[in-house]
Amino acid sequence: MNKLLPRERIEHAILHKDVDRIPRDFGGPVSGIAKIAYEKLLDFWKIPIKEIRISDLEQQLAIIDEEVLTKLMIDTRHIGMNPPIRETFSHDGTIKSFINVFGMEYQKIGTSEYDPLYYEMVSYPLAEASLIGVREYEFPSPAKEWFVNCSKITKTCWEKGYAVVADPVSGGILEQTIWLRGNHKFLSDLYENREIVIELLDRNLTHQLEMWESWLNEVGEWTTIALYGDDYGTQERPLLHPQMWRDLVKPRVKKLIQTIKKNFSRIKIQLHSCGSIAEIIPDLIEIGFDVLNPVQPSKGMDHASLKQKFGSKIAFHGGVDTQEVLPRGTPSEVEKEVQRVLTTLASDHTGYIFATAHNILADVPPENISAAFEALDQLEP
Domains belonging to the chain, first-starting first, are 6-379 (3.20.20.210)
In the 8-state DSSP scheme, what is residue 279? G
Nearest to 177 by CA among 253, 120, 119, 241: 253
Region label for 97, one of left (φ > 0), alpha (ψ between -120 and 50) or beta (otherwise): beta
Query: From CA 197, how far away is CA 2, in angstroms rounded?
Result: 52
Query: From CA 72, how far away is CA 300, in angstroms rounded?
Result: 31
Query: From CA 319, how far away is CA 316, in angstroms rounded?
Result: 8
Residues 6+ apart with CB under 8 A from 221: 155
Q: State the helix-helix crossing angle for 173-181 and 183-192, rounded to 10 degrees.
A: 100
Instruction: List per-residue pLDDT tens for the chain, 381 residues long.
Output: 789 999 999 999 999 999 999 999 999 999 999 999 999 999 999 999 888 999 999 999 999 999 999 999 999 999 999 999 999 998 888 899 999 999 999 999 998 788 899 999 999 999 999 999 999 999 999 999 999 999 999 999 999 999 999 999 899 999 999 999 999 999 999 999 999 999 999 999 999 999 999 999 999 999 999 999 999 999 999 999 999 999 999 999 999 999 999 999 999 999 999 999 999 999 999 999 999 999 999 889 999 999 999 999 999 999 999 999 999 999 999 999 999 999 999 999 999 999 999 999 999 999 999 999 999 999 875
In the 8-state DSSP scheme, what is residue 278? G
**pTM (predicted TM-score):** 0.97
Q: Please give the radius of gyration of the chain, using alpha carbons only, rounded to the nearest integer.
A: 20
